[in-house]
Amino acid sequence: MKNKISTSVLAFFISIFIYSQSSTSDFKAGNVFLIGNVKYNKYKHINFPRANFIIKKGGMADYKNIKGKKVIITSINENSNGKRIATIKLVELRKFFNSHAYVTVDIKKAIKNKELLMVKDTLILKKLSNVESLFKTQNK
């Protein structure tokens, strides 16, 4: 009786452990998001550069131009801590603050804190792929 109980408890914990390891997020390169509005421009999970770096590169550190902009995930990497860090860029062929083309973000925490908002818009992806292919042919 004691063996059956301990075996069933062990099997329960193993199944929970396996489920937690196998669950992955459904974010992938190409997903489109909106940059949300936060209080006092304090984005904790979107790694925007500090104002002095923006100004050094000739940009303007104005968060009003960033809020509500559509961004696309270009790549997702897993950190040594297990965090999923995504690299995002603006859907428009512009730069963040007119100085940085790419920004990294802790994708799960940014969505949880509403710094990024999910957008289901496939038309944007088609337009973006057409613009990028046109841009690549002009640079050859």
Q: Answer yes or no: is 15 within a domain.
A: no
Amino acid 6: pLDDT: 73
Number of domains into which the chain is organized: 1
Query: What are the φ/ψ torsions at residue 32 (nearest 5 degrees)?
Result: -110, 135
Q: Answer yes or no: is 13 within a domain.
A: no
Question: Per-residue pLDDT for 68 more than 60?
Answer: yes
Amino acid 64: pLDDT: 87
What whole-number distance in Å separates Cα of residue 69 and Cα of residue 119?
Answer: 11
Q: Answer yes or no: is 77 within a domain.
A: yes
Top-ranked range on mean pLDDT: pick from 25-29, 68-72, 132-136: 68-72
What whole-number distance in Å separates Cα of residue 91 and Cα of residue 122?
Answer: 12
Confidence grade of residue 35 (pLDDT, cut at 50, 70, 90): very high
Q: Answer yes or no: is 92 within a domain.
A: yes
Q: Answer yes or no: is 121 within a domain.
A: yes
Which structural domain, as residue segments, surrounds residue 58? 26-139
Q: Answer yes or no: is 18 within a domain.
A: no
**Going by C-beta distance under 8 Å and a sequence separation of 6 or more, which residues neighbour residue 136?**
none
Q: Answer yes or no: is 6 within a domain.
A: no
Q: Answer yes or no: is 42 within a domain.
A: yes
Q: Cα 7 vs. chain centroid, distance in angstroms?
A: 41
Confidence grade of residue 22 (pLDDT, cut at 50, 70, 90): very low
Mean pLDDT for the chain overall? 80
Q: In what order do the strands lie in the sheet with 84-90?
A: 46-47, 103-106, 84-90, 70-78, 32-35, 116-119
